[in-house]
Amino acid sequence: MPETPTPPDDLIDLKARWFAAQAEHKRACDEENAGPEITTPVRESVYAVSPVEKWVRKLPLREPTAEQLERRAKAYDRLMQLTLELADHEWLAKLQFGTRLDAEAHVNRLAFKRYEEQALATA
């Protein structure tokens, strides 16, 4: 079995930044909406109340604020920018298909390890 080629350090850094951007996007999207409450008139049902109707009646639904939407959009744009940079990286394009799959898995392992180390260092 051929040995997996060693990825360049800039690719590992790029993928680690991608993992960080993905985490930031998740944090932005997981943030609870803080905008005005959504009021939906729920009429009494002739039939048995569905689980969705029970959920709508129980929870105060809120819209996201403009600031939240802007933060989510910026995080998404950053994630997509890094995704495109990863797709355009010349090292991966030079590899054959089977070798490329192994190399991508190897890059993911190294980059995630680096991302975790950086996250621990900043925490």
Quickly list DSSP for 38-105. P----PPPSSPPPHHHHHHHHS--BPPPHHHHHHHHHHHHHHHHHHHHHHT-HHHHTS-HHHHHHHHH
Range of the domain at 68: 9-35+64-122
Residue 41 lies in a domain: no
pLDDT of residue 16: 97
pLDDT < 70 positions in the chain: 1-2, 40-59
Tokens of 94: 């030079």
Residue 59 lies in a domain: no
Whole-structure pTM over 0.75, yes or no?
Answer: yes
Residue 50 lies in a domain: no
Residue 76 lies in a domain: yes
Residue 98 lies in a domain: yes
Residue 52 lies in a domain: no
Could you tell me which residues come within 8 angstroms of residue 87 by beta carbon, excluding any fewer than 6 positions away?
Answer: none
CA atoms within 13 A on the CB side of 25: 16
Tokens of 87: 């797709």
Name the amino acid, one letter, at 12: I
pLDDT of residue 12: 95
Residue 85 lies in a domain: yes
- How many domains does the chain divide into? 1
Residue 117 lies in a domain: yes
